[in-house]
Chains A and B, each alone.
Chain A
Amino acid sequence: MIYSSELIKGTLKTIVLKLLADNKKMYGYEITQRVKELTFDKIQITEGALYPSLHSLEADGLVTTETEFIGKRVRKYYSLSATGKTKTKEKVSELADFMETMKFLLDIKTNTA
């Protein structure tokens, strides 16, 4: 099953921030591949969602970029800034809290014992 893009939209920034926290620096393609790998293809981040989010994170000062030339093309590596690091913790705990609330709200039983 592949999750719908609406579900991913609200959590995409958190996913990207957490990945960068764990991997120091990453480029766009690498991020999509890593997410695919870690979720066994269940979450597939589209290019149309990823790059706008990355640009927005950069504008917010949460990530910094460095460029590397690969032949004729340029690869942009993203890494967390100092504020990005604290923001990541906030965002992850917010999402965890949100998931707990959703479980309760939608009456999802995790332990079917």
Chain B
Amino acid sequence: MYQLNEQQIDYILNDIGARGVEMESLQQNLLDHICCIIENNLEENGDFESFYKKTIQTFYKDALWEIEEETLQLLTNKNYYKMKKIMIYSGTLSVAGFIAGSIFKIMHWPGASAILLLSMLNISLIFLPLLFILKTREVSAMKDKLMIAIGTIFGILFSTSSLFKIFHWPGANLMWLFALGILMFVFIPIYFFSGIRTPETKVNTIITSIILISAGGMLFTLTSLKPSTKFYIGKTYNYLQGEELITRMQLIKNDTTNQNPEMINISKEILENCKKIKEIIIIDGIGIKSIPKDFETKDIILQESGLGKEFDPAASGMEMIQKLKKQINSYNTLVNRNKQLPIDNNIERMEKMELIRISNYNLLNSLTEIQLFILQNEKGLMLN
């Protein structure tokens, strides 16, 4: 019986690692196994190194790492069918979700965003990664694996950027352009030049490439056709300017002459109501309550659009508008003629449900003006 010393054990362990076995538990198993063989079969004064080399060769056909490969193969293959099933389910589910979510969104039904969010997350976090794992296993050439990887990255970027866009999260545009860039300048060229070389796939490759390029090109055009965000940046600065003016005016001392408590009260209510309606509009546009001063660096741009579903008939925003109208009317009965609030055209139109003619910026400006009129009276900035 041979007795192995510590250096010899280290030597074996290093050799197993050097032969490409990286899984620690497998390394330990093999180490113990070889040690057992050596200890049981080598005579006490035998030649360790040559015996070890002869023994290790009986473990494999071409190389020792075959054992690790076989292990990994068994460990992953086990999940192959499960993964395939999950992939098909999640794919079907997200397609159904996209269709349902889009219909919900167009119809302004509740739950549209939740459905779209779930489908998008499903496709980018479950479907595409699984597709990548399963597809790469089917091909052997490194080039094909690379192509699938790039395709998957494009798909994930594309769906996440769409998600960011729908929810007006920052960074959507950059991600969108990046995804299209990968498609147009990396994926399609690799796909085209690898497919065109073999005669059987030549025609298909050309047709698919043309379709991909035109689809990508159309998406690209859609991106650049959007009105420049600079336009909205200017509008946002205008809006913030108004907000600043309101804040500064609120710092001025109230005019104590000539004010009855009822009017002070209703002024407060109108200011409060205007503020809340503004919050609803801004949340609908960018997902947060107010526009930060450094919105430009944060890439949080409130785009001009129609009013959201909160301003549908009988929805909360619309009710607040109606309340505002009543408040203005009662305010006007309490003050002198020259202090009365002028009837705001946009509020009037909203009452008549002519929503389509009013954009979010229109209503925000109207509200700011109402607030400024009120403050002007409250602070006594108007001559009696």
Contacts and interface: CB of A to CB of B under 8 A. Distances in A.
> Do chains A and B interact in one complex?
yes
B89 interface: no
A42 to B, nearest CB: 18
Interface in A27-43: 27-29, 32
A15 B40 CA distance: 24
A14 B140 CA distance: 32
Given A71-B6, A72-B9, A76-B25, A47 B30 contact: yes
Contact of A56 (B30, B33, B61, B78): B78
Given A71-B6, A72-B10, A59 B78 contact: yes
A56 B35 CA distance: 23
A75 B34 CA distance: 11
A67 B23 CA distance: 16
A28 B59 CA distance: 13
Nearest to A75: B32
B67 interface: yes
B78 A73 contact: no
Contacts of A67: 28
B25 A52 contact: no
B71 A56 contact: yes
Contacts of A72: 6, 9-10
A76 to B, nearest CB: 6
Given A72-B9, A76-B25, A56 B74 contact: yes
Contacts of A56: 71, 74-75, 78
B257 interface: no
Contacts of A60: 78
Contact of B31 (A52, A53, A73): A73
A70 interface: yes
Size category of the A interface is 20 to 34
Size category of the B interface is 20 to 34
Nearest to B7: A72
Contacts, number: 70
Contacts of B33: 28-29, 32, 47, 51
B192 to A, nearest CB: 40
Interface in A14-69: 27-29, 32, 46-49, 51-56, 59-60, 67
Given A28-B33, A47-B67, A48-B66, A73 B74 contact: no
Contact of B73 (A27, A29, A52, A59): A52
B210 interface: no
A28 B31 contact: no
B37 interface: yes
Contact of B74 (A28, A52, A71): A52
A28 B31 CA distance: 11
Interface string B10-30: 100100000000010110111
Given A52-B74, A55-B74, A27 B67 contact: no
Nearest to A74: B28
Most buried by A among B30, B71, B73: B71
B70 interface: yes
Contacts of A47: 30, 33, 58-59, 67
Contacts of A52: 67, 70-71, 73-74
A23 to B, nearest CB: 16
Closest 5 CB pairs of A and B: A29-B36, A52-B71, A56-B74, A52-B70, A74-B28
Interface of B: 6, 9-10, 13, 23, 25-26, 28-33, 35-37, 58-61, 66-67, 70-71, 73-75, 78
6 contacts: A27-B32, A47-B33, A51-B29, A52-B71, A55-B75, A56-B78
